[in-house]
Amino acid sequence: MHKKIEELTHLNVYPDSLCQGPSASFFLGRRDTDMEKFVGSVGDGGISGQTVGELDSKPVTIGPLNHANAQAIRSALPWTAPKVVGLATSAGLGDRLGLATPGHARAMGDHDVVPIFAQQSIREMTRTNRTADQVMDCATWGVLQEGFQKGFGSDADHLQELADIDVTVAAGFTMFTIDPGKHVRDAADSMDAAALAEAFETVDFATLATSASDLKCTYVGKTISLAGGVEIDFDESTFLRAAVKYGNAIAHVVKMYRHLVEVCDRPFELEVSVDETESPTSTAEHYFFAAELKRLGVKWVSMAPRFVGRFEKGVDYIGDLDIFRASLAEHVAVMRTVGPYKMSIHSGSDKFSVYPIVTELAEGLVHLKTAGTSYLEALRAITKIDPGLFREILDFSRGRYETDRATYHVSAELAKVPEPKDLTDDQLPALLDDFDAREVLHVTYGSVLTADGGERFRTRLVEALCRQEQTHYAALERHLSRHIEPLAR
């Protein structure tokens, strides 16, 4: 059938995409003259497009990779649509260009880790001029191209407003990561007793369905015994710091969750993230946050505290690994006592030194979240495919770094990133292994992809990667498999 379809369609059909649906066979093919891809069906598959002939008395139709056809494919082939993942070990593999899913699928191999192929935050969608529908559709096409039928999830990441939920529910996302970071009061860590008492009165007790006195009575003077023999002593200071720091964040999560329940008429799962804040989440604060969510009827599948040390973008963990291990053990104790739920590792790209620790202590109750590292691997491929384009991107990124770093926790020094003119073509790939260069290239992705309407870099970047897509996929497979393998059990 493969060869006959190619003869009829004049496409190079991806062999792994050939599959059988309830009433038709489907495939994905590429026209090498312009690298455009098409979806096709043999039989009545619901694809909108052009009928190009017959095969075994069945019409052969090819159509564009548009939203309507993505919806038709998800309806006909349920494995091309995301599912809820539950407590299975999982890994989010963000795709800022819309081209990475085939490489991500290859990186999964035979490991017992569930991939989250459709993952992007509202912030990233804004910076890359993408829509929630586009994120979902690109995952569907990549899954079909690779014939990846093991199932995958989707994550509407770092949602902060009710409207964010509406948009991503409509696009078919299955996991929703609530980011109440704007409501976290980091200053609680340094407040004196008087300031804490005053700030405590500003907590949204109405949404928390309690009063200041009742909430205080629930915790103050209590010793909480956690799994593994860990104990938390809630004296008044410990309680007030937790309540002031996270009380309004909890209330915000409750509001977002209740709205999600109202507007989403299908199974979904919730993640809670407070990782993008200044100060680490203590064991007591983690317990307070989780216990209050549970009391208020919120159901969640994973939580991302702000861990000790530094989880900077696109580079390994910065900090004392022994201290991290000891702290994580206590967070896991909270997770097992209040949950179970998964420990979510945000800014998880390239944290190779912590993966074995997390896997060992959490025993599979892990969700890893990566995004920017796939963009960096696309740039690594570009150093080989089009060194001149990479030089332009590097020069532009150096000029944007001091501005674009403002919304990220990074410490790269621009002076340590060489100028393109000082490097030979053979030296370019090594930049993708350099701490400072990785962070500079990582945080400037939004500016690169939208410069001059995207024509300056994005269009050329996408064209180059599509022209030699196997080079791109190989880079992704090699690098992302290093993230997946330590999580597999």
Residues marked active site are found at 157, 271
Listed residue (241, 298, 307, 251) closest to 274, CA to CA = 307
Distance of CA 446 to the CA centre of its chain: 16
Joined together, the tokens standing for residue 386 give 């089009």
Sequence letter at residue 352: F
| Residue 56, Ramachandran bin (φ over 0: left; ψ between -120 and 50: alpha; else beta) | left
Residue 193's Cβ-side half-sphere holds a number of Cα atoms within 13 Å equal to 3
Rounded CA gap, 215 and 101, in Å? Answer: 46
Taking alpha carbons only, the member of 120, 19, 9, 32 closest to residue 77 is 19
DSSP 233-297: EE-HHHHHHHHHHHHHHHHHHHHHHHHHHHH--S--EEEEE--SSSSPPPHHHHHHHHHHHHHTT
174 with 268: CB under 8 angstroms?
yes
The 8-class DSSP code of residue 81 comes to S
Nearest to 105 by CA among 131, 75, 139, 76: 139
Phi, psi of 104 (to 5 degrees): -65, -40
In whole angstroms, what is the distance from residue 464 CA to residue 472 CA? 9
Residue 336 C-beta-side C-alpha neighbours within 13 Å = 17
Rounded Cα–Cα distance for residues 444 and 446 (Å): 6
What is the b/e burial string over 218-228, where b = at least 16 CB atoms within 10 angstroms of the residue's CB? Answer: ebeeeebebee
* 3-state SS class at 469: helix
- Under a CB-based contact definition with an 8 Å cutoff, are residues 250 and 292 in contact? yes
Which candidate, 4, 67, 54, 3, places its Cα nearest to that of 24? Answer: 54
CA distances (Å), origin 39, targets 19, 228, 467, 469: 12, 53, 18, 18
Beta-sheet pairing, 114-121 with 269-273? unpaired
